[in-house]
Chain A
Amino acid sequence: MIARSNSDARLARWLVSPALVVIALVAIFPLGWTLWESLHRHDLRLPWIGQPFVGLGNYVRIIHDPRFWGALGHTALFTVVSVALELVLGLIFALAMNRAFRGRGLVRVAVLVPWAIPTVVAALLWRFLFDSQAGIANALLMQTGVIDKPIVWFVHAATAWVPVILADVWKTTPFVALLLLAGLQNIDSALYEAAAVDGAGAWRQLTRITIPLLKPAILLVLIFRTLDAFRVFDLIYVLTGGGPGTSTEPIALYAFNALLQNLQFGYGAAISVVIFLITFGLALIYIKGLGAGGAAGVEP
């Protein structure tokens, strides 16, 4: 057994190293660069100040920056609401697609298509659907009598979130559904048969069997969706530009402005590092909360 685990470790090194080497090659320099920049005052527009080392100065500035905190709040709101909706809807789709029915293949393709539309195009599409002048959303709501005059969606903070979140849910629920479907396929159908014999209804089966056994897949969904939602950028940039005012400005858009619009490389890098730290923290919480052992191996 000891011999086996020694050779296991050797084999493991060989198997893991290609992936690690490639990632390290591509990522180490940019990540190191970002960290280094975040400790300096570096403003491309003001080359004469040089790049003085400021220690944690940029981070201190972040703490005193109300716009940063606002953006963080918006990002948190967006992440929680959209990821929760995507999880629920994705689960429903996955459960449905996991059943045998005529045309299932087509449904799967249809469900995946929104995800294959480039984000920028999807965002334009939703901006147009929610246009107050020619948008179909207002037309439908008025025809069905839900509202009696058009809503100007992007002018109020509360209504501007509606198209933003709907667009994200529309576009990324397919990802969630496919991931959960892969998890569902691993659940032994004998478990359901046994439960049915014991008289467990559909709801009980869902809460007692499906969801607990789906934990690893749910964990993956939460990690990757949170990670993406927390860095949301293109979608909101096209839909609202962060407006009205800064009411829908997410943190990645703020970082983008600092880095590539205002050319404050030091400050922008510091915001990026903070985004990284927060997402990493969230991932740790998920992993701790949903199952031990890294990628969460729940033994069937």
Chain B
Amino acid sequence: MLLIALFASLVFATGCGGETDTRPVITYSGSAVGSQGETVRRQIERFAKMHPEIVVRVQPSPDDATQRHQLFVQWLNAHVGDPDVMELDVIWTSEFAAAGWIRSLEQYSPTRGDFFPAAIEANTWNDTLYAIPWYVGVGLLYWRTDLLDHAPRSLDELVSQAERAMRASDGPPYGFVWQGARYEGLITSFVEYLGAFGAEIMNDSGDVVVDSPRAISALTFMRDEITRSRIAPPEVLTWHEEETRFAFQNGNAVFMRNWPYAYSLLSDSSQSRVAGHFAVATMPAAEGGHPTTALGGAELAINTYSEHPEIAWQLIQYLTAPEQQLERAAATGDYPTRRALYDDPRLAKALAVPLDQVRTAIESAVPRPVTPIYTELSGLLQVQLHRALTGQTSPANALHEAARQMKAVIRESGLDEREVATGSFAPAASVIPAKAGTHVRAGLDMGPRFRGDDGGGAAR
């Protein structure tokens, strides 16, 4: 009895916490820790003050991508209205769009042209924009100005520079550190090498071409960094972003591939031994390729079941407005998604990094394939890349196997049939022209198969 009373009182105590406020509530869910979290809270409070007729709630979710993905899936699959606005990883947009969980933003006539084309492309599925780019992450090459006099102009030069610096008396033990553990970060590293060799994961018509001869050269080059030139320690195959940063900030590496977040931490002389002795550049290319950086970053989208989509859209507009992006850049070092801001002297002041370098990096950014089944394709590719890099198989075998598996998954999903029955899903080949010399390609904008003929597909 006592227990039932206890239970009842708990239910009562927790169930009746709701306020008598009848104003509409909209909920934002995303990062809530660190300087990012503080900035967002501050901005949301200001937004709420401007709109006294509504209540805005912040519902924190973990910054670990896997955990946040899992939570969002759970919430969205329950088809309920909160959270209304979500911070998505760039690779989730098409998945959530295909699942019908986030709203098309076309009705609000978003101003695409204000944003970097690659970031818009990454959020476009079936010619429809589903999320607004909030900030961009791009892969950067961090290099030591005390060991080298210029950034490498080619991948071969990177290797020879690293070798020379390592050979010098009390040179650092590592030449080049990057993210090589079996996780999404490995794909972003790989995408940069692919571009550098003129290869890609999928071509413009959505075919898997990750086992092309150039792609095999790219993966072979990565492996050779570990086993042949030995500029990359085998440890990189277990490292995420932070381990590479520690190696670099302790002065143990000549080069590091990492995201912009590392810049301000490396500049902090209380913890970094390389403060003032490093700079950033874009990853160099090999012959026949282009300097390429992987596009990361966060997007804002509206829950399909949101009860107040109009207000949600206003919140997104507010958070992605130039003023808020500038404020965020100053507080967190995140790069704005609006191109015009890069001509604004206020941004130059807000970011520690020279703006022209940032702009070059963003303009050579390549989104990962835009497809609802990206996570699955990426998972298959991660395994094969890691097998090749840890010496369990050859680069060629690994990529052939990856391509075979990826093709099988696409075939089974039915996403490869480009002829689409309904008008609303026009076959898409939205190649957005890129700026001089860079290389931005369309993702896998594939119309779904809309013939209700399936059923046998699951049982192969």
Contacts and interface: CB of A to CB of B under 8 A. Distances in A.
Given A60-B459, A61-B458, A242-B182, 18 more contacts: A45-B98, A46-B414, A47-B99, A47-B100, A52-B455, A54-B459, A61-B460, A131-B243, A132-B238, A155-B235, A157-B392, A241-B182, A244-B182, A244-B237, A261-B66, A261-B375, A262-B373, A264-B376
Contacts of B182: 240-245
Nearest to A128: B243
A245 B235 CA distance: 15
A267 B6 CA distance: 40
A262 B372 contact: no
A175 interface: no
Contacts of B458: 41, 52, 54, 57-58, 61, 266-267
Contacts of A264: 376
Contacts of A134: 246
A45 B376 CA distance: 11
Interface size, B (range): 35 or more
Interface stretch (B104-112, B157-165, B351-359, B383-391): B383-391
A55 interface: yes
13 contacts: A44-B73, A46-B98, A46-B413, A46-B448, A52-B454, A54-B456, A55-B459, A58-B458, A61-B458, A241-B183, A244-B390, A247-B392, A260-B69
A133 interface: yes
A257 B377 CA distance: 12
Given A48-B449, A245-B392, A262 B460 contact: no
A246 interface: yes
Given A47-B98, A133-B247, A262-B379, A152 B235 contact: yes
Nearest to A258: B376
Contact of B379 (A45, A245, A257): A257
A49 interface: yes
A4 interface: no
Interface in B421-448: 448
A256 B457 CA distance: 22
Nearest to A243: B182
A262 B99 CA distance: 12
Interface in A260-279: 260-264, 266-267
A247 B237 CA distance: 14
B77 interface: yes
